[in-house]
Structure 1
Amino acid sequence: MSGFVVGRRTALALGVGGAASLAFPAWAQQATPAPLDTAVDTIVANFMRAFETPGIAVAVVRKGQPVWLKGYGVRTMGRAAPVDVHTRFGIASNSKAFTAAALAMLVEEGKLGWDDRLTQHMPEFKMADPAVTSLFNVRDLLVHRSGLPLGAGDLLYFPRSNRTVQDAVRALQFLQPVRPFRGGYDYDNILYIVAGALIEAKSGMSWRDFIRTRMLEPLGMADAVPSLELLKTTNVAGRHARLGPPVRGVGPMQVIEPDESPVVDAGAGINASIADVAKWLEVQLALGALPNCKKLWSAESAAAMWSPQVVVASSDGPTDLNPVRSIMQGYALGWFVQDYRGRRLISHSGGLSGQVTQTALIPSAGIGVAVLSNTEDSVSGGIRNALLDHLLGVPAYDWVANYVARNKLAAESAVAALGDGDAQRPAGGPSLPLAAYAGRYRDAWYGDITVKERGGALHIDFAPHPQFASRLDPWGTDAFRTRMTPGKGEDAVVSFAVANGKVTGVTMKALSPLADFSYDYHHLAFVPVVE
């Protein structure tokens, strides 16, 4: 879905990296750089101990040197099977760079152009504003400047639903912008789904087949598959999360099941081992060239994919509390681009339910790192930073203490907002008999919900997400909260608009302040369905 507007899962670190209340050691001079084996082992062990992380896999790529690979810990908590260099993880939004590269290959073949109007190639494409539809080009699919809000439409396919790629393309016309077209940055997944559909339209093969035959196979990524649905092996990393109380993101670590939909494959679907991801980093550093001197894409395309198109953030630069805060961060084509320790960093992260992963390149130093984790905790980002610092030879920084402090502050904020057992019920209650809230309600992009009275209580069903079925408990004036099965979804506050004794509409918001942005209940606007 991690500094996560880079993937899906926010983990606990979002928004607290610069908090003035953090307190931890700043710099500790490294007298003699440790050998790589020792350094990586120490970095990973310290993080795994601090976060109770079940498993980690690490790759270090250095131009002109052998690739360094290692797995740590176990695939699934409570089981003995170890993480090794062939254990498959869902790399989530790190898949976006593959989709960008696929489009670059089609551009080089003359099948489309970056600045082509998208409707030239996909006449069915529509945004809410016809003027935006007419201006939208191929490049706009990849750079998060559409004007749509953060995570718009994610509830169509996170978690798994009965919606299709075609449903996602159709939904775009009903999603409302929050800023002008190309007026700023808001991360999304839905336009990468459209990019996958475009690749199919112009190549004559599905996105899955294109990625498999044109990239994974030439790169020798033998463990990798373009979709979780195609994963047919037992050497797979488990999924782990903290499910509360009071909310997801805090509490003891638990094993959970994968829940992503194949609809989002073009934005988050690839599953790969650390040995595979190392090969991806190598071809990136080689600007598209394979070891046999053949090229998947040209140096010109590599430059295009690394050229920022929209400003993500800017600041005055590093501080004592955040020594790698960037002066400028931008988004290119499937990659974030920013300064790191005075160099250009090309990176992305990926978040799924139960796993967070990182890929990073510093081309000027000829190095790349990948960190794959089987937990929602924000451990992989800290390991990534510590590895980059070691490889660049900068003084060591206590990234473990930094990330522990971030997570502690976020957890404390959640408990302060919701209590350490359950969220506190607001004042007020239903203004109508419960039966008056019952009915079918429809949102144009999402679909239907059904509210029924049963046994003296209200119950809600979400047509695209049967797993969300829940009792509704009163939660303020004409509002109710869900009681979803833990691990099946984020609870929501369901508010009914009432006029003249009748329900005129339904809106929602996530109950938890830590809820992943993909639970974009707040973008829904249901109206009664007359049957």
Structure 2
Amino acid sequence: MSGFAGSRRSFMIGGLSGLAVAALPAFAAAPAQLEDRIGGWAERFRAAFDVPGLAVAVVRRNQPDFTQGYGVRALGKPAPVDAHTLFGIASNSKAFTAAALAILVDAGKIGWEDPVTRYIPEFRMSDPIATKLMTVRDLLVHRSGLAIGAGDLMEFPASTHTIEDILHGLQFLKLERGFRAGYAYDNILYIVAGILIQRVSGQSWEDFVTARLLKPLGMSETVAVRSRIRTDNVAGRHARLGPPLRGMGPMRQVPPDEQDKIAAAGGINTNVHDVPAWLRVQLNRGTLPNGQGLWSAAQAQEMWTPQTITESGPGPAADNPARPVIEAYALGWDVQDYRGQRLLSHGGGLTGQITRHALLPELGCAVAVYTNVEDGYVATGLRNSLLDWLVGAPSYDWLAAMQRRRAKREADALKEVSGTGPRRPAGGLSLPLPAYAGRYRDSWYGDIVVATKGKQLAIDFTRTPVFKSLLEPWGPDTFRTRFPAEAGEDAVVTFAVKNGVVTGVTMKPLSPLADFSFDYQHLDFVPVR
């Protein structure tokens, strides 16, 4: 939601070399060979990373689809993950939003270079020049000047903010860089894209995507938003909640926290039974097997054309043989070189689930990996194992590589904390506790209320029900929250004091591993007098 992106909620087995890709000819493999090879990888990743369950789809040109589930839907329960188990695919939904807009472009209803204000007159960025120049295309390519994850606290965790609140709040989010001056992933402008689709089509994003994409594709088990799920065959959510930090410790079940308002940025719930139809229509540039076109080849090219450079470097290395020379963002897709091939991919991250989609257009194949854990290393490593096999790459042990990457990330984080969690900074409070109490307002989020509760202070994020906590002193005029572990990341709350009076409140995430969607650092509260 990482963010709804892949970064949002990212053992040695004897013979780890068994995870290395061997020379099995992917396009000639029989179903039994597929199950043996893919099932072996899936089960080893599950065991190595304590994953309750996952599902895999592999699509190959002129070959039957491979779809299979592994493990269980929820810890401690016997119900298995199968091909029909629904997962929230989060930001993989962004490609559906791009396709919905492409359909409207083909119909002559909108143009990619049309100003957003033509369709949403009240649309505002904090910079009037950015407001004027923002086009339909700009909504999708993460170059608006907004900071990464800006405004996500209106979307995650569940809050009382409406889509209208999000649109209104956008104008108060400060730009971190110049308009079109660089890349920073956001969700909020995809929500605006969903509003635009409704304004132009007369249908909600959910209804438009269902009627124009899901139904023609025969994705009858897929729903556009979680509230439309009508089956019990749904993957559970799991995360490591610490100590010392979220992302570490034993795996625990956590509740879902997304609402329908995220639809255009990350709302779709699907399974590996349905998703091959989506992957195939992408590979076929918008054309269904019966010849019907959902979108034109010209629009397929538009959606796959890189728009914003996200990263560049020296390319493959011994410890990462698939590292790209250049990576860019197109319209709802990441585009990069991978082992000499063009790769279009995306990730999706929700509380307790991580998913991956990937296309190799020139080879006519694609993969989907869905996991019921808040751990991107599993989905990425298994995805890369599948891609290497499909392209016939030299053998490489992605399981061991992902274990090394996770160990390094945890070690780096632990340098900033003690064995039980973040360290309390030196310094104390300059005012008596009641002097910090009051109502404070941020222009895009809304209000917090700080009140005395016995001999302590308590904080209430009035728009986010799970964000209520006692406050613990944490340095100079600073406190930390103690939200329930499953609620999300804790915040460091700092009061600005001048002449014995609180003049403002700022925040930041407590954990160095906190997902970017906990964008406390973008809040700037002032007292409500």
Report the TM-score range of the alignment, normalised by the length of the smaller protein. over 0.9
Instruction: For residue 222 of structure 1, report the CA deviation from its aligned partner.
Output: 1.0
How many residues are matched?
517
Instruction: For residue 416 of structure 1, report the CA deviation from its aligned partner.
Output: 2.6
Is residue 90 from structure 1 mapped to residue 88 from structure 2 by the alignment?
A: yes
Which residue, out of 268, 272, 275, partners 2:273? 275
Task: Give the corresponding residue for 1:63.
Answer: 61
User: Quick check: 2:450–2:457 contact (8 Å CA) kept in 1?
Assistant: yes
More moved, 483-492 vs 498-507: 483-492
Task: Give the corresponding residue for 2:438.
Answer: 439
Instruction: For residue 263 of structure 1, report the CA deviation from its aligned partner.
Output: 1.3
Counterpart-to-counterpart distance in 2, 1:44 and 1:396: 17
Question: Residues 150-209 of structure 1, C-alpha deviation per residue, up to 9 Å, x if partnerless?
Answer: 000000011110001111111111000111100010000000000000000000111010
User: Quick check: 1:8–1:352 contact (8 Å CA) kept in 2?
Assistant: no
Instruction: For residue 413 of structure 1, report the CA deviation from its aligned partner.
Output: 2.3
TM-score by length of 2: 0.96
Counterpart residue type for residue 454 of structure 2: G
Task: Give the corresponding residue for 1:462.
Answer: 461
Counterpart-to-counterpart distance in 1, 2:190 and 2:374: 23
Counterpart-to-counterpart distance in 2, 1:8 and 1:190: 16
User: Quick check: 2:9–2:354 contact (8 Å CA) kept in 1?
Assistant: no
More moved, 186-195 vs 373-382: 373-382
User: In the superposition, relative to structure 1, how do residues 255 and 297 fare at CA in structure 2: closer, same or farther (>3 Å)?
Assistant: same
Counterpart-to-counterpart distance in 1, 2:196 and 2:20: 50
Counterpart-to-counterpart distance in 2, 1:47 and 1:242: 16
Which residue, out of 281, 292, 295, partners 2:293? 295
Instruction: For residue 292 of structure 1, report the CA deviation from its aligned partner.
Output: 1.4
Query: What SS class does the counterpart of residue 48 from structure 2 fall into?
Result: helix
Task: Give the corresponding residue for 1:388.
Answer: 387
Instruction: For residue 5 of structure 1, report the CA deviation from its aligned partner.
Output: 8.1
Counterpart-to-counterpart distance in 1, 2:449 and 2:21: 61
Instruction: For residue 423 of structure 1, report the CA deviation from its aligned partner.
Output: 2.2
User: Quick check: 2:4–2:91 contact (8 Å CA) kept in 1?
Assistant: no
Which residue, out of 213, 221, 224, partners 1:223? 221
Question: Residues 403-457 of structure 1, C-alpha deviation per residue, up to 9 Å, x if partnerless?
Answer: 0111112222223322221322111111000000000000000000000011111
Counterpart-to-counterpart distance in 2, 1:357 and 1:343: 22
Instruction: For residue 36 of structure 1, report the CA deviation from its aligned partner.
Output: 2.4
Task: Give the corresponding residue for 1:329.
Answer: 327
Task: Give the corresponding residue for 2:368.
Answer: 370
Which residue, out of 148, 151, 156, partners 2:149? 151
Question: Residues 95-140 of structure 1, C-alpha deviation per residue, up to 9 Å, x if partnerless?
Answer: 0000000000001111110001111111010001111111111100
- Kindly, what percent of the aligned residue pairs are identical? 57
User: In the superposition, relative to structure 1, how do residues 140 and 29 fare at CA in structure 2: closer, same or farther (>3 Å)?
Assistant: closer
Query: What SS class does the counterpart of residue 487 from structure 1 fall into?
Result: helix
Instruction: For residue 279 of structure 1, report the CA deviation from its aligned partner.
Output: 1.0
Instruction: For residue 303 of structure 1, report the CA deviation from its aligned partner.
Output: 0.4
Query: What SS class does the counterpart of residue 192 from structure 2 fall into?
Result: helix
Question: Residues 507-528 of structure 1, C-alpha deviation per residue, up to 9 Å, x if partnerless?
Answer: 0000000001000000000000
Is residue 356 from structure 1 mapped to residue 348 from structure 2 by the alignment?
A: no
Is residue 30 from structure 1 mapped to residue 22 from structure 2 by the alignment?
A: yes
Counterpart-to-counterpart distance in 1, 2:246 and 2:495: 25
More moved, 205-214 vs 37-46: 37-46
Counterpart-to-counterpart distance in 2, 1:501 and 1:220: 65
Counterpart-to-counterpart distance in 2, 1:197 and 1:346: 26
Counterpart residue type for residue 129 of structure 2: A
Counterpart-to-counterpart distance in 1, 2:18 and 2:373: 27
User: Quick check: 2:4–2:265 contact (8 Å CA) kept in 1?
Assistant: no
Is residue 214 from structure 1 mapped to residue 206 from structure 2 by the alignment?
A: no
Counterpart residue type for residue 95 of structure 2: A
Task: Give the corresponding residue for 1:17.
Answer: none
Counterpart-to-counterpart distance in 1, 2:36 and 2:468: 50
Task: Give the corresponding residue for 2:13.
Answer: none
Counterpart-to-counterpart distance in 2, 1:163 and 1:524: 15
Task: Give the corresponding residue for 1:506.
Answer: 505
Counterpart-to-counterpart distance in 1, 2:306 and 2:54: 30
Query: What SS class does the counterpart of residue 368 from structure 1 fall into?
Result: strand
User: Quick check: 1:26–1:320 contact (8 Å CA) kept in 2?
Assistant: no
User: Quick check: 2:4–2:348 contact (8 Å CA) kept in 1?
Assistant: no
Task: Give the corresponding residue for 1:54.
Answer: 52
Is residue 78 from structure 1 mapped to residue 70 from structure 2 by the alignment?
A: no
Counterpart-to-counterpart distance in 2, 1:391 and 1:404: 23
More moved, 350-359 vs 392-401: 392-401
Counterpart-to-counterpart distance in 1, 2:42 and 2:7: 23
User: Quick check: 2:160–2:463 contact (8 Å CA) kept in 1?
Assistant: yes
Task: Give the corresponding residue for 2:344.
Answer: 346
User: Quick check: 2:20–2:385 contact (8 Å CA) kept in 1?
Assistant: no
Instruction: For residue 251 of structure 1, report the CA deviation from its aligned partner.
Output: 0.2
Counterpart-to-counterpart distance in 2, 1:110 and 1:344: 30
Instruction: For residue 32 of structure 1, report the CA deviation from its aligned partner.
Output: 5.0
Unpaired runs of 5+ residues, structure 1, are 12-23
Counterpart residue type for residue 442 of structure 1: R
Counterpart residue type for residue 339 of structure 2: R
Counterpart-to-counterpart distance in 2, 1:51 and 1:384: 15
User: Quick check: 2:19–2:399 contact (8 Å CA) kept in 1?
Assistant: no
Counterpart residue type for residue 96 of structure 1: K
Query: What SS class does the counterpart of residue 460 from structure 1 fall into?
Result: strand
Query: What SS class does the counterpart of residue 467 from structure 2 fall into?
Result: strand
User: Quick check: 2:359–2:365 contact (8 Å CA) kept in 1?
Assistant: yes
Instruction: For residue 41 of structure 1, report the CA deviation from its aligned partner.
Output: 1.1
Instruction: For residue 30 of structure 1, report the CA deviation from its aligned partner.
Output: 3.2
Query: What SS class does the counterpart of residue 345 from structure 2 fall into?
Result: strand
Task: Give the corresponding residue for 1:18.
Answer: none
Instruction: For residue 63 of structure 1, report the CA deviation from its aligned partner.
Output: 1.1
Counterpart residue type for residue 345 of structure 2: S
User: Quick check: 2:359–2:367 contact (8 Å CA) kept in 1?
Assistant: yes
Counterpart-to-counterpart distance in 1, 2:447 and 2:124: 22
